[in-house]
Structure 1
């Protein structure tokens, strides 16, 4: 196992940060590494808002569901799918032609581009001794976030990312067995039940140890409960208002 893979295998979400500052140069280096991720047709359909202002971080923490570490981390990155640059290019070079920036395909392209760049950036940050945690709560109140950050039409916040030097050492959370996600030459549906059952045992043990025995709910039960809870049902309307008509 080489140094890069070894570092990736040690990933854990960091929610507590030291007072050591993260410099602008480091943020620029991390986001530059993110930019080198693959991009569909080189559209690079994303933008990153680096938030360091304490007041804005506090407001974002509130909008994310009162997640204190959003306010406490030195830098909070908001990763946005962004098709506005492409639309502007079309208006500049082919103003009389019909364009299709608001299709489901382009929405997926922009969202995937954002995720690929962010994960590159996460690996870069961890290689520099920093820690990160992704914040899906940035979508809790998407319109307020978009307004606070002055996002243009055809841009939406996909997730946030706390960035800073770790002030904790959480354990590694076990992942699904490799055969549950890696299939050869076709999807192995028949083997899924066993893989999930094995993982349920692993996660039950992990939770018992982490919580001192107060919780040992199997992973599959937790996922079932998650699916039974409506989450962020406003997003379709919000995306339409942002210009993503998803044709």
Structure 2
């Protein structure tokens, strides 16, 4: 097993950091690593906003659901789906690309590009001995997030990533079994097998929570997911994305 694989398999979400900002060199290394990620047809349909301003970080922490680690970290990166620059380059080249950049396909490209870049950034940061945590809570109120970050039309902030020097190492959450995730040649739709695998996974998750909380918590994964998904959230998203001039066709 090489160092890259060890870094990937060692991933934990870190939510408490030392009061130590990242250096400019560390920030550049992480962003350049993000830029090295694969991108569909070389379109590079994403941008990264680094937030240093303490008041902005405090406000973003509130908007993300009062998560303190959004405010207290070494650096906060915001990953955005971005087709704004493509509209600008179309003007430069005298081309009409409106139908293309307003399509669902190009929105998917932008989201996928941003996610690939972010994971490269995460692996780079962790390989440097830093900790990271993805922040999906920014999507609780993208109207306010967009105003705070001054993002133009054709840009959607997708998620944040806190990075910093870990104060402690958290436990690794057990992932779904390999056999549950990996399908060969075709999708396995055997629901009886799926039920059995989920029951086994629930037991693993219960044991994890019992040990982590000293017996105070014994959730199952299926219970968590069913409860969460039965309460729809962020249902404004389609309207917001279309308002930004994306995913309209």
Give TM class, smaller chain.
Answer: over 0.9
Question: Helix, strand or coil for the counterpart of 2:126?
Answer: helix
Decide whether aligned partners of structure 1 residues 25 and 186 sit closer, same or farther in structure 2, where only a CA change above 3 A counts: same
Q: Tell me whether 105-114 or 237-246 shows the greater mean CA deviation.
A: 237-246
Alignment of 1:137-176 (within 5 A): 137-176=137-176
CA RMSD of aligned residues (A): 1.2
Alignment of 1:74-223 (within 5 A): 74-95=74-95, 99-190=99-190, 191-223=193-225
- Offset, 1:88: 1.4
**2 CA distance for matches of 1:237 and 1:129?**
40
* Structure 1 unaligned blocks of 5 or more: none
Deviations, residues 16-61 of structure 1 (Å, cap 9, x unaligned): 0012331011111101001111100010100000001111111111
**2 CA distance for matches of 1:123 and 1:149?**
25
Residue 225 of structure 1 corresponds to 227
1:49–1:77 contact (8 Å) kept in structure 2: yes
Alignment of 1:35-50 (within 5 A): 35-50=35-50
2:20–2:73 contact (8 Å) kept in structure 1: no
Equivalent residues, number? 247
Question: Helix, strand or coil for the counterpart of 1:189?
Answer: coil
- Offset, 1:97: 6.5
**1 CA distance for matches of 2:38 and 2:204?**
34
Deviations, residues 131-183 of structure 1 (Å, cap 9, x unaligned): 00000001011011111111111001110000100001111110000011111
Residue 32 of structure 2 corresponds to 32
* Structure 2 unaligned blocks of 5 or more: none
TM-score by length of 2: 0.96
**2 CA distance for matches of 1:142 and 1:100?**
24
2:133–2:161 contact (8 Å) kept in structure 1: yes
